[in-house]
Structure 1
Amino acid sequence: MKVVDMLKALGVVVCVAMASSAYAQTSDATATADSAASAKAAKNATKKTDRKLGLDVRRALSKAQGFDVSNVFVKARNGAVVLTGTVPEGNQIGQAEEIAKAVPGVKSVSNKISLGTQGGGG
């Protein structure tokens, strides 16, 4: 009888050890899923911040006296702003860069705006 009781006790110990191990693996998987979720949330927050910064720069350009923003495109990534497109007057190229640099959150500006004709003329 003692052998049977000992085997039962050993079986209980093995079951407890297996259950603890399974629990540890489950919590590790949960931690991995949580960090993947937080990484995705951080990426979404960065995209939202970039989008807002681009809109802020575009809004600032549109408020500038005599500046035609219709053919100017703004892209922002982590505070770095890229301006592309065309303007009808050469002085507006530098003006666009200065306006973009003054927007809060802008760390750098890459000005790729060129001089071009706007609208059709025949």
Structure 2
Amino acid sequence: MKVNNILKFASGALIVIASVNAWPQTSESADTSTAPAAEGSAKAARQANRALSKKVLRALSKGGVSTSRINVIAKGGAVTLAGSVTDASNIDKAAEIAKTVPGVTSVKNALTFKEVGQ
């Protein structure tokens, strides 16, 4: 009889210990505490990327490169120039101008030459 009671008590204690370790945690508390910070930082990063793209476009315009067919994609300081130019010499010129913009860490030049009307 004593052995049965001891076994029941020991198995009950093991169940309690196992259930404490495996206690379900709701993701709501974690989501509400980290989501605004993550969302805020992601939003700030998008805003910074848009601002850098605009700075590069402004610099290209001031440098004499037509930006009507150029798309500037910025992500964390890395800038990609995509689209086309009507003067082949503007391909390298655009990359050089983009490198001088504050905040630009690297430039990938994917510009192509297309004559007007193509």
Task: Give the TM-score, by structure 2 length.
Answer: 0.72
- 1:56 aligns with 55
1:41-73 Cα distance to aligned partner (Å, 9 max, x none): 0000000000000000000001113x2111111
Per the alignment, residue 109 of structure 2 pairs with: 111
Distance 1:88 1:45 in 2: 35
Unpaired segments of 5 or more residues in structure 1?
1-24
Identity across matched positions, percent: 39
Q: How many residues align?
A: 94
Q: How does 1:1-122 map to 2 (within 5 A)?
A: 29-30=28-29, 32-65=31-64, 67-118=65-116, 120=117
* SS of corresponding position for 1:68: coil
- Which blocks of at least 5 consecutive residues in structure 2 are unaligned? 1-24
- Return the offset for 1:32: 3.9
The question of whether the paired residues in 2 share the 8 Å contact of 1:86 and 1:117 is answered with no
Partner SS, residue 44 of structure 2: helix
How far off its partner does 1:112 sit?
A: 0.3
Letter in 1 for 2:72: V
Q: CA-atom RMSD, angstroms?
A: 2.0
Q: Secondary structure at the residue paired with 1:111?
A: strand
List 4+ stretches of structure 1 deviating above 6 A.
none
Shift of 1:36: 1.2
SS of equivalent to 1:73: strand
